[in-house]
Amino acid sequence: MAGNTFGTAFAVTTFGESHGPAIGCVIDGCPPGIPIEAAEFRTDIERRATGKSRHTSQRREADEVEILSGVYEGRTTGTPIALLVRNTDARSKDYDRIAEQFRPAHADYTYWHKYGIRDPRGGGRSSARETTMRVAAAVIAKKWLAERHGVRVRGHLAQLGELTPRAFDWSAVEDNPFFWPDATMVPELEAYMDALRKAGDSVGARVSVVAEGVPPGWGEPLYGKLDAELAAALMSINAVKGVEIGAGFDCVVQRGTEHRDEITPGGFLSNNAGGILGGISTGQDVVCSLALKPTSSLRLPGRSVDIRGEAVEVVTTGRHDPCVGIRATPIAEAMVALVLIDQALRHRGQCGDVGPQSPLIPATP
Amino acid sequence: MAGNTFGTAFAVTTFGESHGPAIGCVIDGCPPGIPIEAAEFRTDIERRATGKSRHTSQRREADEVEILSGVYEGRTTGTPIALLVRNTDARSKDYDRIAEQFRPAHADYTYWHKYGIRDPRGGGRSSARETTMRVAAAVIAKKWLAERHGVRVRGHLAQLGELTPRAFDWSAVEDNPFFWPDATMVPELEAYMDALRKAGDSVGARVSVVAEGVPPGWGEPLYGKLDAELAAALMSINAVKGVEIGAGFDCVVQRGTEHRDEITPGGFLSNNAGGILGGISTGQDVVCSLALKPTSSLRLPGRSVDIRGEAVEVVTTGRHDPCVGIRATPIAEAMVALVLIDQALRHRGQCGDVGPQSPLIPATP
Amino acid sequence: MAGNTFGTAFAVTTFGESHGPAIGCVIDGCPPGIPIEAAEFRTDIERRATGKSRHTSQRREADEVEILSGVYEGRTTGTPIALLVRNTDARSKDYDRIAEQFRPAHADYTYWHKYGIRDPRGGGRSSARETTMRVAAAVIAKKWLAERHGVRVRGHLAQLGELTPRAFDWSAVEDNPFFWPDATMVPELEAYMDALRKAGDSVGARVSVVAEGVPPGWGEPLYGKLDAELAAALMSINAVKGVEIGAGFDCVVQRGTEHRDEITPGGFLSNNAGGILGGISTGQDVVCSLALKPTSSLRLPGRSVDIRGEAVEVVTTGRHDPCVGIRATPIAEAMVALVLIDQALRHRGQCGDVGPQSPLIPATP
Amino acid sequence: MAGNTFGTAFAVTTFGESHGPAIGCVIDGCPPGIPIEAAEFRTDIERRATGKSRHTSQRREADEVEILSGVYEGRTTGTPIALLVRNTDARSKDYDRIAEQFRPAHADYTYWHKYGIRDPRGGGRSSARETTMRVAAAVIAKKWLAERHGVRVRGHLAQLGELTPRAFDWSAVEDNPFFWPDATMVPELEAYMDALRKAGDSVGARVSVVAEGVPPGWGEPLYGKLDAELAAALMSINAVKGVEIGAGFDCVVQRGTEHRDEITPGGFLSNNAGGILGGISTGQDVVCSLALKPTSSLRLPGRSVDIRGEAVEVVTTGRHDPCVGIRATPIAEAMVALVLIDQALRHRGQCGDVGPQSPLIPATP
């Protein structure tokens, strides 16, 4: 209830501050029998890592995941899986000044008011470093979803400030540090980022995630709707200010005849719904999109107050991304995967009788 | 876990189908001592009611709320409050045809696949009729928020298809059937709706909700963030396809220097954050916005399939709104109020020691 | 979280006060497709009913269960099932005196201190009348357990004051108003009860419940252990002061060689474990037992205080049972059934892959 | 939902297997501002430790608790507190034989059937080693309860096999390795244990826990009753087969006039209720008792089957306690403390308005 557990059937509890001894998570409810080893976490952890390129911030940590429990002889046992990552790059420096100031657009001010105390080192609990554990937990989720249901979850950057892709190719996405689906634009993006860095400013981004292969029937109406849980999951990522499913805000100007996805014996004719109707998956691609605000830590000074309410000028020095949205791509994928496995397990719990063996008309194929 | 309970500390469980005997809810965790009587539900229920004007659908029900429990001599007792509304307008008609067809953009197809069975009468559980109980439960939430914390939650239509307000005046909102903040545009909106109705088509809408007076400190990072729970709450409303907090998707093209809300001893200088930083309220207005898809029930025929997978043509006859988004305004307010009271109670549970009586620096005023 | 919902996958939320307009419940998460009609609730409701015989209290209500939602054409649909029972026997009388006094061994004193307000009519929310809805909800649970898994849950009175059965015959249990397994002792029990009634006093009881046919594998260690959840479920029944699983408190003096249930290829050789090891069912009978305190409402005056802290003498007039434990039998059965269905659905959610289709060694037969 | 989280407002999630790399827990919802340092865990960890005396098993681990998060400059911050204990004494040996056998009265058989896979090393997840983390988490709970509410939680052994204390003195409890309240009997207990060890057998025990200073008002009826949650908490401890509150099973033969705790202006005249009425604390001592079965790991051979269903003879070699119940004392205290802090925070969330500042009559002092 205090907010650090995500999911109910596949429940991920994360812990850790940016500059404390370690970050980690506990996954409770994982299906038993999934083969997993520590090395499998590397790819996605690396994709999210802040030191991936010069276009994202410069923290370079090994981020080796240690499996502390829940796996025996290379398979999940159904008991809690604890994953641990030590913070090796937590530089000791003088936090006294930052500890007394509230950086604009950061969580400093609100943590202070909520708890009456805060860990100011590197953003403490509110740092995006925590998302490492979301990505780690989702590695197991993605694996089960793929092996058990053939589900594939992948994302890409859909907008970087004013720039949008002029072409779309999934195969390009993993070949550039921007998760950008149009390879020809990469030099343009690099120049754009360099200009921002030079100016000491930052910009927002849009990320899209698509889940293919989701069978019809996942989602728990009315308050555990698949889209409602996706919205919460994505909005819980640092810096996110908006979430869309399918047509999203474009639906405001659509006509009903245009928006409704007609159905034929061969399938749906469009996907404005983003694969979800009434909060339940339709069997089409689940499509969602999120808006990330520009990085708040800037070299350009900003006005603020300190803990005594006096005016101060805040300048952030050191490493930072001109666009935090870029590395949100694997995090957004992770959150979608975590929602899907959770809904899949809950659906199986309640509706496992639905099918040929039941008195009901066969449902999920 | 099966999805029909909203909230944890102030938990609202709703039940009921559109054309079953009744709809209702149970509120568990309500603070004791709140004065409440059945008549107080009328205003918001009426605001949401489908029969409010010729621009919304024609179902006319008394929708009298009966208080079944949890209130003694006009005050809440802290025990579960059950509210009941009988379905008096549930016309008996032949549902055989509709029971075998999946209406495009409706939940028919997905409920069928999920549960193997569905109540086809008036949309069954997926009908927006259920939202009556969200509005009813929120009447109590709004009252506590106002009396205990001075919080005011109100919403308005922010876009109707292509139309946006040219002026903004809260006082106009409740004086027209569109919750529109620009009184001069009402004739234009009426004409727009009449044209849609004549064409047998529909259009989407955007609704905005503002909560004033929220103190700093509400929100449970990281997965129970105030914005994450608002996103889930709003996305759980029928027909919603997008949610924004503060600047929302506009933040994608903002620069960091533009987006960050600077702070002075006199307060914040802007509110791109929408009153939330790090998932915790800042003390500014909490501002959110949602996109609602166009009504799916249309007189214009649409292609679909039946339960045997054969092609059919679906035509919806009878009452319907050309824009379901209009009456979503009080529903969206309700969901925001329900999130806020839940977060307020949870915050008090964990952080009730924060303040002058604790060793910590005083926090929430 | 506020305590009025039982279960997570099969979640039952109850509401209602003894002398309010109605009591009821909402069942969320029920598997779809279960045939159910209102008449099926009668048997167990009747078994629990206070007016069953002269040996239990004299309230005579029809207690007809109305199904408000979640059932369509005689089958559960997977959406919330709301059940309602109107309070028809709520006599109007003067509650002023009782409203200001705290009856010894009742919840008056604690509700007053917790909530600062209480409904004094007939015990309000703390009345055993609420257990009607537990029994009603369990009718559906028992049906699914029986049809899907062959599970049978039944209980009996195991001790009435100093009296214990001299013989045991399940077939006798339902043929006397005491749920007593030894038919020859019924006259003795009647005399015992008559003497108590005449004396104006009351006595405690012990109830045992046995669930046959539970497959191995149900239970969620470590905190959702099957026995832990049974303990909570049974202790939540009015007047219960103790719970045992299997050998219970007798295990204190047992030797390890005596207590451990040895296993042979033909099965377990004893059942001191009560069908549960490590919090998970073994496949043997699940056996539990509970102690119920003597009725607290007595004609014999007792010392207490009023809301101003002044000494008063409390005398309870009107109907009451000399032994509330008797009619706890069907309530205890109900709670066991509710725990079992909840655990069954949760187990299926997490471990539905375990079996021949998985890479794991086949488990649940 | 999968069972490894205890509590809702003060939620403790534990992880780890007996012979895996580590055990640990994450505490979510801890009030901010509590001073805590790693050394404070030592006392209770040591009290629970298996190597305390020759009368409990011989595993000798340092069991140093590392605080990984949630504490900054010696105070809790309100964010998740992760505690870690490395398993340093996990001897490598041949588990092949034990991995294929089901030890009688152990969880081997049920874990195998539930998950289709199990970690056989030292009992894996079902080992009592996990309770170390319950004790660690409760150190923080006890501290807050004591400092904020003056609550003191302590336990003692109340029965060892056939032996019961002939005198009662709290001050004796911590001065002998049996938590026994009668110092004169210690030699008798030592001889009793030595005889058991020599015989290769074991015996059960009864532990009692008393919480003094609990204010009236804690507990969430009807399903989150204080006694219901205590019952679950205590029954979740390894080897527990019975739980009692107050008079417990003795109430079966009590008369109502004897059991009811009369009240005078000076307070209650007895405490058969064990400090709980209607599921809510009365302000009296909260008193509970639990039965622990005899140790199941015995040198004396027992009949069982292997994973192929074939008969085997099981003999446990190596370290073990003749009475696991002894060291359950600090574990039982821990569970009581965890229940109390959780209920305290939940109560404050819902009923924080009850008091002088509310329109209600002042309640909790």
Q: Which two tokens stand for residue C298?
A: 């007595």
B vs D: CB pairs below 8 A = 71
The alpha carbon of residue C247 is apart from the nearest alpha carbon of chain B, in Å, by 34
Residues A67-74, mean pLDDT to the nearest whole number: 97
Most A CBs within 10 Å, among B162, B214, B260, to test the A interface: B260
Residue D363 has pLDDT above 50, yes or no: no
Chain B residues with CB-CB distance to A4 below 8 A: 221-223
- Averaged pLDDT of chain C: 92
* Token pair listed for A152: 């594939």
Residue of D nearest to A32 (CA): D115
- Give A360's pLDDT tier (boundaries 50, 70, 90): very low
Least confident of B61-70, B71-80, C51-60, D189-198: C51-60
Chain A contact probe: residue of B127, B249, B307 with most A CBs at under 10 A: B249
Residue D357 pLDDT: 39
Residues D270-300: tens digit of each pLDDT:
999 999 999 999 999 999 999 999 999 899 9
Task: Kindly determine whether residue D117 and residue A81, on different chains, have CB atoms separated by under 8 Å.
Answer: no
Mean per-residue pLDDT, D289-315: 94
What is the rounded distance in angstroms from the CA atom of residue C284 to the CA atom of residue C270? 9
Contact between residue A343 and residue A364 where contact means Cβ atoms under 8 Å apart: no
What average pLDDT score do residues C60-88 get?
A: 92
The band of A363, judged by pLDDT with boundaries at 50, 70 and 90, is very low
Res. A74: pLDDT tops 90: yes
Q: How far is A93 from chain C (nearest CA, A)?
A: 42
User: In chain B, which residues have their Cβ closer than 8 Å to the Cβ of A342?
Assistant: none
Size of interface A-C (CB pairs under 8 A): 70
B316: nearest Cα among B97, B53, B18: B97
Residue type at position A359: P
pLDDT of residue C223: 98
Q: Tell me what the pLDDT averaged over chain D comes to.
A: 92
pLDDT recorded at residue A364: 40
The residue ranking higher by pLDDT, B318 or A225, is A225
pLDDT of the residue at C358: 42
Of B207-221, B342-356, C44-58, C126-140, give the lowest mean pLDDT range. C44-58
Mean pLDDT of D244-251: 98
Q: How confident is the model at residue A361 (pLDDT cuts 50, 70, 90)?
A: very low
**If you average pLDDT over residues B198-215, what whole number do you get?**
97
Interface contact flag, D15 A115, Cβ < 8 Å:
no
Residue of C nearest to D362 (CA): C116
Predicted local distance difference test score (pLDDT) of residue B89? 65
Residue A296: what are its φ and ψ, rounded to 5°?
Answer: -90, -25
pLDDT band at A342 (very low <50, low <70, confident <90, very high): very high
Of B50-54, B76-80, B115-119, B236-240, minimum mean pLDDT range: B50-54
Q: What percent of chain A has a predicted confidence (pLDDT) above 70?
A: 92
Q: E strand or H helix at D208, and its extent?
A: strand D205-212
Is the pLDDT reported for residue B59 higher than 80? no
Cα dihedral: C315, C317, C319, C320 (round 10): 10
Residue-wise pLDDT tens digits, B6-42: 999 999 999 999 999 999 999 999 999 999 999 999 9
Q: How far apart are CA C152 and CA C142, in angstroms?
A: 7
| D188 CB-near residues (< 8 Å, 6+ apart) | D163
A352 to chain C: which residues are within 8 Å by CB?
31, 345, 348-349, 352
Q: Looking at residue C50, what is its pLDDT?
A: 57
Q: What is the least distance, in Å, from the CA of D75 to any CA of chain A?
A: 9
Structure confidence at residue B318 (pLDDT)? 72
> Across the interface, do A246 and B251 touch by the CB < 8 Å criterion?
no
Task: Flag the least confident range among B107-111, B329-333, D52-56, D223-227.
Answer: D52-56
Indicate the pLDDT class of residue C244, thresholds 50, 70 and 90.
Answer: very high
Dump the DSSP string for D167-206: S--HHHHTTSTT--S-GGGHHHHHHHHHHHHHHT--B-EE
Residues in chain A within 8 Å Cβ distance of D125? 69, 77, 79-80
Nearest chain A Cα distance for residue C36, angstroms: 14
Q: B357 or B353, which is more confident?
A: B353
Per-residue pLDDT at B96: 73
Residue percentage of chain B with pLDDT more than 90:
85
Q: Which amino acid is at B121?
A: R
Max Cα distance, chain C (Å): 70
Most D CBs within 10 Å, among C241, C259, C288, C304, to test the D interface: C241
Please give the residue of chain A at the shortest CA–CA distance from B255: A203
Q: What is the pLDDT of residue B365?
A: 38
- Residues from chain D that touch A26, judged by Cβ atoms under 8 A, are 4, 13, 15, 26
Are B350 and D9 inside 8 Å of each other by CB? yes
The Cα A311–Cα A293 span in angstroms is 25
Cross-chain residue pair B361–A116, CB shorter than 8 Å: yes
Task: Give the residue on B whose Cα is nearest the Cα of A235.
Answer: B228
Neighbours of chain B (3+ CB pairs under 8 A): A, C, D
Tokens 């200010």 map to which residue?
Answer: A241
Identify the residue among B263, B269, B299, B354 best suited for mutation to test binding to A, counting A beta carbons within 10 A and taking the highest. Answer: B263
pLDDT in tens, D90-124: 565 667 777 889 999 999 999 999 999 999 998 99
Instruction: Report chain B's mean pLDDT, rounded to a whole number.
Output: 92
Beta-carbon separation of B256 and A5 below 8 A = no
B332 and B61 Cβ atoms separated by less than 8 Å = no
Query: Which residues, including other chains, have CB under 8 Å from residue C143's CB and lie 6 or more apart?
Result: C34, C36, C40
Confidence band for D50, pLDDT divided at 50, 70 and 90: low
pLDDT mean over B278-298:
97
Q: What is the pLDDT of residue D358?
A: 42
Residues of D in contact with A5 (CB under 8 A): 5, 11, 13, 28
For residue C105, the chain D residue with the least C-alpha distance is: D260
**Shortest CA gap C171–chain D (Å):** 24
Please say whether the beta carbons of C282 and C273 come within 8 A: yes
Q: D90 with D121: CB under 8 angstroms?
A: yes
CB pairs under 8 A between A and D: 161
DSSP 8-state assignment for residue C83 = E
Please tell me the distance in Å from C340's CA to the nearest CA on chain B.
16
d(CA C56, CA C292): 15
Distances (CA, A) of D37 to D72, D83, D153: 10, 11, 20
Which DSSP string do the residues of C336-353 spell out, in sequence order?
Answer: HHHHHHHHHHHHHHHHTT
| pLDDT band per the 50, 70, 90 thresholds, residue A78 | very high
Separation of alpha carbons B322 and B56, rounded Å? 7
3-state secondary structure of C257: helix
The model's pLDDT over A179-193, given as tens digits with 9 standing for 90+, comes to 999 999 999 999 999
Confidence (pLDDT) at C89: 64
**What is the average per-residue pLDDT within C261-288?**
97
pLDDT digits (tens, 9 = 90+) for B223-234: 999 999 999 999
> DSSP alpha helices (H): ranges in chain A?
42-48, 96-100, 108-115, 131-149, 170-173, 186-199, 226-235, 256-259, 328-351
| pLDDT (0 to 100) of residue C63 | 86
| Mean pLDDT of the residues in chain A | 92
Choose the mutation target among C117, C164, C254, C277 for the interface with D, i.e. most D CBs under 10 Å. Answer: C277
Task: Of A41-45, A276-280, B81-85, C250-254, give the lowest mean pLDDT range.
Answer: A41-45
For B130, which residue in chain A has the nearest alpha carbon? A222
pLDDT band at C55 (very low <50, low <70, confident <90, very high): low
pLDDT greater than 50 at residue B360: no
d(CA D214, CA C110): 12
Q: What ipTM does this complex have?
A: 0.96
